């Protein structure tokens, strides 16, 4: 499957992009397509022009930050955000978007939140959980944490969607969604549906089949993007 096959013509402002530099690109594309939302991988400056929203996926935040500069798209993302494009950062993506990083220099700095990297330990300390988030779903949502950061503080204009113990796991401003876990690695479409609506799209009502009819390998059809 090449990029042309992934990107059929869609009206401007009706597409969600997934930053295609490193990380869980294919998994996010799969979830959006399951919702019936037009989506495509993006990495060139011109590919950002008609997006309603952009997902910055989980991966390795230091690597992603360097690639943003190498491909010269960090300033493109900032400019398009200020022009109205919505943003969602999952795990490493949340680190990139935060205005403050504990003990480190921030990257894009677009949402008033402080994030601490690798807050749970090594890869072996990854875990799954479940949480009720009534704003997103009438049923509990599965959560997957992989070398996850923690949101330890949010500022004015940022709302907490999910607090777990001593940290914030999900938060949002009018233009940005942050999750320190990986919704794209679970069958649930709740967060992708919520983000699509945040982008002004209409993916439809909650479907109880979200957590049932899911092929764990379905994202692999996106894995050979040219």
Which residues are known catalytic residues? 91, 182, 184
Give me 57's structure tokens. 């996926």
Q: Nearest 5 degrees, angle CA 11-CA 82-CA 169? A: 95
Q: Nearest 5 degrees, angle CA 21-CA 180-CA 193? A: 80
Answer for the pair 42, 18: CB distance below 8 angstroms, yes or no.
yes
H/E stretch holding 143: strand 141-145
Residue from 103, 118, 114, 102 nearest 178 by CA:
114
Give me 93's structure tokens. 């993506």
**Helix or strand or coil: residue 212?**
coil
Residue with tokens 């950062």: 89
Give me 213's structure tokens. 């009819």
Residues in the chain: 226
Residue from 45, 131, 54 nearest 97 by CA:
54
Give me 224's structure tokens. 């050979």
Give me 45's structure tokens. 């400056």
Cα–Cα dist 201/147, whole Å: 31
């Amino acid at each position: 499957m090449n990029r042309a096959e992934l990107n059929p013509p869609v009206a401007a402002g009706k597409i969600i992009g997934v930053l295609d530099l490193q990380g869980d690109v294919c998994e996010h594309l799969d979830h959006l397509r399951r919702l019936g939302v037009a989506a495509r991988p993006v990495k060139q400056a011109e590919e950002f022009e008609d997006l309603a929203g952009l997902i910055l996926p989980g991966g390795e935040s230091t690597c992603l930050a360097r690639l943003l500069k190498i491909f010269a798209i960090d300033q493109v993302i900032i400019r398009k955000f200020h022009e109205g494009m919505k943003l969602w950062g999952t795990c490493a993506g949340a680190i990139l978007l935060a205005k403050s990083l504990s003990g480190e220099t921030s990257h894009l700095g677009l949402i008033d939140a402080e994030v601490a990297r690798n807050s749970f330990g090594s890869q072996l300390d990854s875990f799954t959980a479940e949480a009720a988030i009534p704003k997103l779903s009438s049923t509990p949502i599965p959560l997957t944490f992989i070398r996850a950061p923690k949101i330890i503080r949010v500022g004015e204009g940022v709302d907490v969607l999910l607090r777990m113990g001593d940290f914030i796991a999900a938060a949002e401003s009018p233009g940005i969604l942050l999750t320190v876990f990986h919704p794209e690695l679970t069958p649930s479409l709740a967060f992708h549906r919520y983000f699509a609506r945040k982008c002004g799209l209409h993916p439809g009502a909650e479907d109880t089949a979200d957590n049932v009819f899911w092929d764990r390998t379905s994202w692999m059809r996106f894995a050979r993007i040219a």
